[in-house]
Amino acid sequence: MNICFPIAQSNCEVRMFNLIDVFWAYIFIAILILLGRLIRQRLWVLRSLYIPSSIVAGIIALLLSKSALGAVIQAIDPESPLVTGIFSENIQAVWSQSPGIFINIVFATLFLGQYVPGLQEFWRKAAPQVALGQAIAWGQYVVGLLLAITVLTPVFGLPPIVGCLIEVAFEGGHGTSAGMAQTFTELGFAAGADLSLALATVGLVSGVVAGTFLINWGRRTGRVQVSREPMVNLETVERESLTEDEHPSVITARENLFRDLLIDPLSLNFGFVGLAVAFGWLILAAARWLESVTWGRGGLLLMPYVPLFPIALIGGIIVQYILVRTRRTYLISRVLMERIGGLALDITIVTALASISLAVLGDNLAPFMILSVAGIAWNICAFVFLGPRLLPFYWFERGIGDMGQSMGVTSTGLLLLRMVDPDNRSGAFESFAYKQLLFEPIVGGGLFTAAAPPLVVQFGPMPILLLTATILAFWLIFGFYNCKQLRKLDLPGKI
């Protein structure tokens, strides 16, 4: 059976390969993840930096691919069968398409099975955290676009959308970077995919290193108000859910359901993931049609460049809302949703890293270093200087999670939270979780993350710089005011 996968839609190049190629592509991914886990456990430096096994596996795949091993063999013996690496071109073609597919599953699972608090409780706990998180994210756009306008475009000749890479990579992480690859290619900046993936790796490592340093600094200077030393590892953090404990009646209803239905619980939950993705696709298709018959007639087209994954997140919210309204939340297990999303994210990371072009990265090394240093500097400075002014109580404990998330992945933020406040005395975990409802749909892989590159191409970097700077100013003003009002209430245990 032959399956046709579009390798590059921009030039209509199509590669034909058999389904058995897909099968072996993911068999190799499974073996690479096991190998990555083994290497991670053997090397202290990887454990100490809490580098996920999927990133180790992705780097191994990259080193054995055409971009690394193949390039070395090509220089030595152009006739060698290893000029494409140890993996066949069809397998690498499957990998190159996988990130843009599996990232949709990751985002569809984010809110499925999540506990949604009452509006008053939600806003009281989330508002300060939202202000800090949004300020960091929009600041990444401001810093990136300023660099694009002043240095990266005039000096290095890169397109202005390079200014979006800090937010895509640092706030969005490997998954978002992989999901945006096709958008960058269609906008004429194919190198953006490789640069953003490399930046995401820098963000992940620097987030843990900088976070650990800042926690030690905070304890020495008295900025950390909770003192118990944690015993933590990344796997434990990723297993723990931020949702409230489920009501016994929900647990009982789910147990009865699985007794009566001849279906595996994982299959049932995966069905709701598929429904969420389908809702997202319908919304995206409707938005593209609406644009084509309205403002799109004048040449302003944005929706064709918006990928599916941020809309799949909205689809997940819709499915969750329907289940809440129909009192069928017992159909979904949040633990299983996290497992489905975790597997999809591992596949996304491994295949995305395996598809990086080292040649492209080498050609843009100086811009890559500039973006890396600027992104790290902004995130750390925003935490140190904005945290105490936007978070009314326990600013260090509550802000360190946002800094960790802004450097690559949510699990880094959770890890740093556990390191500084293992018993959740500050209430940081609830605030961090509630913030996601007003954060993920917009930035960090949300709608604006997807829309920013085509907006820069359509209107130019200066108008988008002014827009993002205005939004940054709004969140700062709101955050300062909100923090002042909450401190007047003096309710640290409820914020």
If DSSP states are collapsed to H, E and C, what string results for 286-315?
Answer: HHHHHHHHCHHHHCCCCHHHCCCHHHHHHH
Average pLDDT over residues 50-66: 84
Q: If DSSP codes are grouped into helix, strand and coil, which group holds residue 139?
A: helix
Please name which of 190, 184, 449, 454 lies closest in space to residue 300, comparing C-alpha atoms: 454
Distance CA 335, CA 340 (A): 9
Distance CA 423, CA 429 (A): 10
Q: Is the pLDDT of residue 481 over 90?
A: yes
Give yes or no for a contact between 121 and 31, defined as CB atoms under 8 angstroms apart: no
Find the farthest-apart pair of alpha carbons in the chain and give their distance in angstroms, rounded.
75
Average pLDDT over residues 69-77: 83
Sign of CA dihedral 154, 160, 164, 170: negative
Q: Which position has the higher pLDDT, 131 or 15?
A: 131
Q: Is the pLDDT of residue 351 over 70?
A: yes
Confidence of residue 239 (pLDDT cuts 50, 70, 90): very low
CA angle 484, 489, 493 (to 5 degrees): 105
pLDDT of residue 219: 83
pLDDT of residue 99: 81
Give yes or no for a contact between 416 and 432, defined as CB atoms under 8 angstroms apart: no
Q: Which position has the higher pLDDT, 78 or 8?
A: 78
Confidence of residue 450 (pLDDT cuts 50, 70, 90): confident
pLDDT digits (tens, 9 = 90+) for 115-169: 666 677 677 778 898 999 999 999 999 999 999 999 999 999 999 999 999 999 8
Please name which of 361, 375, 55, 67 lies closest in space to residue 195, comparing C-alpha atoms: 361
Q: Which position has the higher pLDDT, 6 or 223?
A: 223
pLDDT of residue 358: 75
Sign of CA dihedral 228, 235, 205, 105: negative
pLDDT of residue 260: 61
Distance CA 375, CA 281 (A): 33
pLDDT of residue 390: 92
pLDDT of residue 376: 93
pTM summary value: 0.74
Measured in degrees and rounded to the nearest 5, phi and psi for residue 71 equal -65, -40
Q: Residue 85 gets which letter from DSSP?
A: B
Distance CA 412, CA 51 (A): 10
Distance CA 96, CA 111 (A): 27
Q: Residue 105 gets which letter from DSSP?
A: H
Give yes or no for a contact between 52 and 69, defined as CB atoms under 8 angstroms apart: no
Confidence of residue 455 (pLDDT cuts 50, 70, 90): very high
Q: Is the pLDDT of residue 228 over 60?
A: no
pLDDT of residue 10: 36
Type of residue found at 394: Y
Average pLDDT over residues 402-423: 76
Q: Enumerate the β-bridge partners of residue 50.
A: none
**Rounded mean pLDDT of the chain?**
82
Confidence of residue 411 (pLDDT cuts 50, 70, 90): low
pLDDT of residue 5: 40
Q: Which of 10-14, 344-348, 399-403 shows the lowest mean pLDDT across its residues? A: 10-14
CA of 107: how far to CAs of 180, 314, 423, 444, in Å?
13, 9, 29, 11
pLDDT of residue 256: 63
Q: Is the pLDDT of residue 401 over 80?
A: yes
Confidence of residue 77 (pLDDT cuts 50, 70, 90): confident
| 200 Cα distance to chain centroid | 9
* Contacts of 247 by beta carbon, 8 Å cutoff, 6+ apart: none
Q: Would you kindly state where each structural domain of the chain is located, as residue ranges? A: 106-177+239-334+361-494
Type of residue found at 465: L
With a pLDDT cut of 90, the percent of the chain lying above it is 27
Confidence of residue 45 (pLDDT cuts 50, 70, 90): confident
Q: Is the pLDDT of residue 392 over 50?
A: yes
Distance CA 194, CA 185 (A): 11
pLDDT of residue 493: 55
For residue 119, count other CB atoms closer than 10 A to its CB.
Answer: 8
pLDDT of residue 475: 95
Sign of CA dihedral 133, 136, 139, 145: negative
Q: If DSSP codes are grouped into helix, strand and coil, which group holds residue 493?
A: helix
Q: Would you list the DSSP string of 338-405?
A: HHHHHHHHHHHHHHHHHT--HHHHHHTHHHHHHHHHHHHHHHHHIIIIIHHHH-SSSHHHHHHHHHHH
Please name which of 426, 369, 421, 363 lies closest in space to residue 393, comparing C-alpha atoms: 426
Distance CA 154, CA 61 (A): 35
Q: H helices within 50-88, ranges in order?
A: 53-63, 71-76
Q: Is the pLDDT of residue 29 over 50?
A: yes
pLDDT of residue 379: 94
pLDDT of residue 3: 42
pLDDT of residue 83: 81
Give yes or no for a contact between 99 and 348, defined as CB atoms under 8 angstroms apart: yes
Distance CA 399, CA 391 (A): 7
pLDDT of residue 257: 62
Distance CA 253, CA 488 (A): 44
Q: Residue 245 gets which letter from DSSP?
A: P
Average pLDDT over residues 208-237: 71
Distance CA 5, CA 2 (A): 10
pLDDT digits (tens, 9 = 90+) for 254-286: 666 666 666 788 888 999 999 999 999 999 899
Type of residue found at 281: W
Give yes or no for a contact between 268 and 342, defined as CB atoms under 8 angstroms apart: no
Distance CA 367, CA 363 (A): 9
Q: Which position has the higher pLDDT, 205 or 105?
A: 105
Distance CA 100, CA 97 (A): 6
